[in-house]
Chains A and B, each alone.
Chain A
Amino acid sequence: MTLASIIACFMLFGILDSVRNTFLNFGKTAAGNQRLLVMPKMISGARLPVGLGLSLATVPSVRLLEHASVFTGSYQDPKNSIIIEAHTPAFFSLYPELAVAPQYLTALRNTRTGVLVGEALAREYGWKIGDKLPLTSSTLRTDGSDSWTFDVVGTFHFTDPNMQQWDSQVFINWDYFDEARALDKGTVSWFITEARSAADVDRLARALDAMSANSDHETKTQTENMFMAAQLQQLGNVGTIVVAVVSAVFFTLVLIAGHTMAQAVRERLPEIAVLKTLGFTGPRVFTLLLGETLALLVTGSMLGLTLAALTILTLQSALSASVPLVIASVGAVAWVRGSGLAIFIAVLVGTIPAMRGMRLRVIDALAGG
């Protein structure tokens, strides 16, 4: 029963740690600390005039600047929702984590209706290069139609595991999109540029925002990683929630394991007395009893974390198609943390019973037995 409780606790720990890591690292990359997103300051989802890019490009040290628009469509069924991002060619230079063959990029540049599809999406729907890709969207075309048809010219994937959730979207040409859409022409969802170094981020962000200060389209510039963190923050402080839940779980475990070990020693006082009678010294008895607690906790923690790893693997494959989020695996850090936690709890709950065994007076215990 106690072992089952320990397994359950560490399984929960493994799963929640994965969830925490998923949210903590969602979209975060090394380059994301220097990549800057210039977005509308006041209203989320508002648009910026594409002409603002001309001003932004004049800011010293801006080397590359791209603008993008995003909208959603669906494939065959409204349930098959797909994120469509319209980009300029500079986008592909700003994202070294984006693995796309040069010939696909050339094909996209040369095909106005071209689309690069994420490999995960292509696998799911069986799309191949040369296919026509019909999508339906609430973003209407100039002819009033909600049907958008693209030509699949290539595939891509992100090499950074934290960006793999974006393998389930598609990229199209911004020029074509802006020309074809009925509304909001000449606007973009955001601009993207990059700082030369992490130290230059704050200065550049201030300089970029200064270009639209006191206008009707003021901007807020932040790094891509900060933007991702802020997005997730809207869901609540997942890290704190997870820590709170895990703390409550382990507090309960300490009570259960502590009670069990105390009872186990109490019930086996005659056996411990026999060991001491046979020549086991007090320190040796202490080591045996603490070792027993350690073995119980470490075995339980390893089994629990193994179950957590298997659960996460199952969830990863089950949710890959429906959730734009790659759940982090139970990594080495979780195993090390779990082992450390198991040892800590074992020492916490095992020391006092082990000391009781160590100090046991043989004749008193045997008289009771």
Chain B
Amino acid sequence: MKSLVEIADLSKIYQRGNQRIEVLHHLDFNIPREDFVALMGPSGSGKSTLLNLLGGLDKPTAGSIEIDGCRIDALDEEALADWRAAAIGFVFQFYHLMPALSAWRNVEIPLLLARLSARDRRRRAETALKLVGLAERSAHKPGELSGGQQQRVAIARAIVSDPLILMCDEPTGDLDRQSADDIMALLKTLNRDHGKTIVMVTHDPRAAQYAKRVLHLDKGTLVERAACPEFEEAVQ
């Protein structure tokens, strides 16, 4: 069966003046549907660059990225934006919520790009908030929520348009241990019970334990493909 994500000979080179910085070197790997992949590695290893490429936020220097049959490296900026809206949900380390908007208004934002009535948008946003356990805080603004709650709102925003993949960039990086565990448990539930494919960049080995697989990047090379045998135990 064809994988959801197929990466072939993927390279990314940044040019800084006369300096040529090769961030990713000829990567080849696949991500099957309903996988939960943790991307780990030291700073500067290329984790975030890879996540940006998979999420259609940046373009590779060479190689191809095919997601659900779509060669996203060949799309122009506008088509890429439309593709992101339909296929990808993003979760950031610092949540990046709109401070002036309530929780449900924040969750509604991706739906503004869809042809939905205001009532449908509201209904879907409320459903997403319920799924992350924040139904009763839907009218609160980000400033009135804890860090963990804000990240739940961000996850609700990421899943509200039912994307193919969730791209999570250090989703627990700004949270205390308890909140981090709660967020990882939520992501695990989304993966296990709702079949969401998740790609997560993390420095945190404890967070990585929630993933089905861990990919280690070092100096732009995929140096290790580690399964996570303790996964089931760790998240029980």
Contact = CB atoms under 8 A, between A and B. Distances in A.
A283 B76 CA distance: 14
A281 interface: yes
Interface string A350-369: 00000000000011001001
A300 interface: no
Contact of B96 (A270, A281, A282, A283): A270
A271 B94 CA distance: 11
Contacts of A276: 81
Interface string B72-110: 000001100111111000101010101000000000011
A271 B78 contact: no
A126 interface: no
A270 B94 CA distance: 10
B-side interface size class: 20 to 34
Contact of B109 (A273, A278, A281, A362): A278
B94 A280 contact: no
Interface residues of A, number: 17
Given A362-B57, A363-B52, A363-B58, A279 B96 contact: no
Interface string B50-61: 001001011000
A260 to B, nearest CB: 16
Interface in A221-279: 270-271, 273-279
Contact of A279 (B58, B82, B92, B98): B82
A363 B51 CA distance: 11
A270 B95 CA distance: 11
Most buried by A among B58, B90, B94: B90
A226 B137 CA distance: 71
A271 B98 contact: yes
B86 A279 contact: yes
A280 B86 CA distance: 11
Interface of B: 52, 55, 57-58, 77-78, 81-86, 90, 92, 94, 96, 98, 109-110, 113, 157
Nearest 7 Cβ contacts at the A-B interface = A279-B85, A281-B81, A274-B96, A279-B84, A278-B110, A362-B57, A281-B78
